[in-house]
Structure 1
Amino acid sequence: MRALALLVDRIVTLGTSGASDMPERAAVRDALRLLAARIREGAMLCRIIDGQFVLAGEAVDRGLTRDDPLLAGLLQRCFVHGVGGITVRQGAAPGELFTLASMLASAPRGDDVVPFSSDTPTTLSSIGAEPLPRELLRSWSVLVTPAERPTAHLLLTPAEGLAAISATMADGAGASPTVVALTRLASSHSDEAANAAVDQLVQLLDDAELRGEARVVEGIARACMAQLHAVGSGSTRLALERLLRRLQHRRTLELLGERLPEVPDRLQLLTLFARAGEIAVEILVNQLMRVQDATARRAYFDSIVSLDLGATLLFELVRDPRWFVVRNAVALLGEMGVEHADIAMLPLVAHEDDRIRIAVSRSLLRLGTVKALAGLHGLIDDRNAEVRRIAAAAYGLTSTASGSVRPPAARLAMALERETDEDVALEMLASLGRLGSADAVQRLLRIALPPQQPQDGTERPAPRESYLRVAAIESLIRARGQAVVPALEGLKNDPDPDVAAAAKRMDA
């Protein structure tokens, strides 16, 4: 967490000093490298609860935060931006980390509203003229969620809640037929009364479908799911089940799918979609492929993942000629962890489109199977830097499946000699440290130590760049611990101050 706070502080300082200040730009670069190194070691799961950081379920001492200017500043910026949670996946790309830090370092607009997010499904959770955002920042590996805003209203009774929800969805005043029918359903105490209300609601659904009134359909669906929860196994449940079967018609689900991105609390609708099975996933996938808005795409993506259905359809879409369809399909397969998805995706590692190869690489790394990691190892010389970075990270991972073996370090080391991208080179060094083989350690020592005088009398080569030597030292410590300290002892007096400082930290 402190590495993120340091990067945010450096970005703020760079903004006040000017973009042409080279020392400040170098400080930002070094802070970003530090944060990326920390994220390589593990994910960040942070929430802000009652004015303090909570990391992976453990509260950070208030005194520690108060006495550390960097942590105190980061906490204050989280308050200003209305941040309630920060989640960063292990191995997040440096660009994603920089975007996260830049968002926290930016000054909020004057019209910013503290966001609201509710994870608790309630009957009235969707009421509101303008629902506030569910997330402040979202990328493949980073999620920033808003702080929860305390609700001032009291929860209503089921009957009042059903009527209130429907009133916001239907056209007209509170005496609309939809509100009347839902109120009758909520107050029913016998099968006969409930069936009469359901008959009226079925007719209203038919009319709403003909007119394409998605909001009315949503109001009936949400009210029905809430009432089903309220009655449990009571006498009116059979009538409610009949209404639920009617709500699972294809056209009804299509209208509900149109409303899904607009609903702050999707749990009720997703429960209904889960009952419909594969047809619901097909509808949501079609919506995902058509929609242009990024927030709506994320809503459909998350909904499909939560349903955990439709693998057969996704396997078919992997062969679609449209690049964005393929990208979404492989991303879903990776996020859902579908069995045998690696076999379907591996042929795409040779695809001409960089966007598809990046999506495939991320999904294969997410799957982490023996075949997936082996496929990624072959991408270490890919023309795209992000694909190479993911391939390098795969070298440092070992599948949990039986029969998995660590890859040899030679190919990774040779790729490192040719690498020109700093972020990829750092990822390669970190993976060499995780491999920890004798060959990997020798390669790291050659980078960390000053070059030897050639025996042919030619001029001694210049040492590697400072950031590479520092990263090699850290990878050696990770690979062999204190056993490697004697070999690096001489670096404490290295002419490069950064290398010398890294060598002295070995004793800490």
Structure 2
Amino acid sequence: MLERLAHLVSVPKHRSDAILALQRAGAGGVKVLIDLLVAAPTMAERRVLFDALSQMKEGTGQLVHMLGHRQWFVVRNGAELVGELGLEEAVPALARQLEHPDDRVRKAVALALAKIGSGSAAEPLLHALRDRSPEVRMQVALGIGGLKAGALAMPLVVAMEEEQDEAVERELILALGRIGSPDAVLALIKVAQPAGRFFGRKPTVLRAAAVEALRLAGTAAAIGTLEGLVDDSDAEVKEAARAALVDVRKRR
């Protein structure tokens, strides 16, 4: 019965009713959806099942078991799901997959950890930020944001100091702006300045990214720094600071 219901998830006119019935089935509903997801041959089918699983209210602990599967695509799908659901209990299992040989798995794991963004994810994320693949490191930067990620501010600062890829470094700077905590803003202020004891001189592209991140943060300290940068000697930084101030003042 549950398997027949799960198949109806792929039929648009029956999808809502099928998902509701599977939600009521609890862990059993999750299990049949996971089984279908593992066997799904096309991206379109996987997307439908993924969306259905993300709406399940119970039995999500079973998703954590997907992270130990022998097939790489099952692990990737599981990582995407637990990240979408923000399952903090999945952090240890995700951390174990940071050494997976497939870059696609490590990218999904890194993004999932970033989306969960809890204090327990900080150490695994720092590990992911040292991954050999710039794409994996980029996923961490792109996924982090919001006040709940405040515990990740200092790991991101450490990662910025070590990062050799300018594109990844820029995204780490923007991630600090999305966090917007006092520690994050302090680090951004140092990056935005033309020279600083902690970070040293930065390329214009990174200083401009810090200005954008300060705009995202929008705190009093961020605004004060932007006001000081409107007369900067670098024309690009100066223009970015002026535009950022206009936007921040509109939002206040």
What TM-score does the superposition give when structure 2 sets the normalisation length? Answer: 0.76
Q: CA-to-partner distance for each residue in 1:289-345, whole Å, 9 max, x for gaps?
A: 111122221111122222233334323222111011111222222223335111221
Corresponding residue number in structure 2 for 1:481: 222
Q: Check the 8 A contact 1:317/1:326 in 2, yes or no.
A: yes
What pairs up with 1:114-125 in 2 under 5 angstroms?
none
Q: Check the 8 A contact 1:335/1:363 in 2, yes or no.
A: yes
1:378 equivalent to 2:127? Answer yes
Distance 1:344 1:395, change over 3 A: same
Q: Check the 8 A contact 2:30/2:53 in 1, yes or no.
A: yes
Q: CA-to-partner distance for each residue in 1:219-246, whole Å, 9 max, x for gaps?
A: xxxxxxxxxxxxxxxxxxxxxxxxxxxx
What pairs up with 1:144-159 in 2 under 5 angstroms?
none
Distance 1:358 1:264, change over 3 A: farther
1:258 equivalent to 2:7? Answer yes
Distance 1:255 1:265, change over 3 A: closer
Structure with the bigger percentage of strand = 1
Match of 1:467 among 205, 230, 233: 205
Match of 2:193 among 428, 445, 470: 445
Q: CA-to-partner distance for each residue in 1:178-222, whole Å, 9 max, x for gaps?
A: xxxxxxxxxxxxxxxxxxxxxxxxxxxxxxxxxxxxxxxxxxxxx
SS in 2 for 1:307: coil
Name the aligned partner's letter for residue 322 of structure 1.
Answer: Q
Distance 1:268 1:428, change over 3 A: closer
Q: Higher relative contact order at CA 8 Å, sep ≥6: structure 1 or structure 2?
A: 2
Corresponding residue number in structure 1 for 2:165: 419
Name the aligned partner's letter for residue 205 of structure 2.
Answer: Y
What pairs up with 1:358-397 in 2 under 5 angstroms?
358-393=107-142, 397=146
How many residues get paired? 236
Q: Distance in 2 between matches of 1:507 and 1:309?
A: 45
1:430 equivalent to 2:179? Answer no
Q: Distance in 2 between matches of 1:384 and 1:333?
A: 22
Distance 1:266 1:474, change over 3 A: closer
Q: Distance in 1 between matches of 2:52 and 2:82?
A: 13
Distance 1:362 1:395, change over 3 A: closer
1:319 equivalent to 2:63? Answer no
Distance 1:471 1:487, change over 3 A: same
Q: Check the 8 A contact 1:369/1:400 in 2, yes or no.
A: yes
Match of 2:50 among 283, 288, 301: 301
Q: Distance in 2 between matches of 1:331 and 1:390?
A: 12
Deviation of the 1:440 alpha carbon? 4.4
Corresponding residue number in structure 2 for 1:342: 91
Distance 1:447 1:294, change over 3 A: farther
Q: Distance in 2 between matches of 1:275 and 1:384?
A: 42
1:501 equivalent to 2:239? Answer yes
Distance 1:446 1:412, change over 3 A: farther
Distance 1:472 1:271, change over 3 A: closer
Name the aligned partner's letter for residue 93 of structure 2.
Answer: A
Match of 1:354 among 94, 103, 112: 103
Cα-Cα RMSD = 3.2
Q: Check the 8 A contact 2:117/2:144 in 1, yes or no.
A: no
Distance 1:469 1:293, change over 3 A: same
Unaligned runs of 5+ in 2: 247-252
Unaligned runs of 5+ in 1: 1-251, 453-460
Q: CA-to-partner distance for each residue in 1:34-84, whole Å, 9 max, x for gaps?
A: xxxxxxxxxxxxxxxxxxxxxxxxxxxxxxxxxxxxxxxxxxxxxxxxxxx
Q: Distance in 2 between matches of 1:338 and 1:432?
A: 22
Structure 1 or 2, whichever has the larger Rg, is 1
Deviation of the 1:285 alpha carbon? 1.1
Distance 1:469 1:341, change over 3 A: same
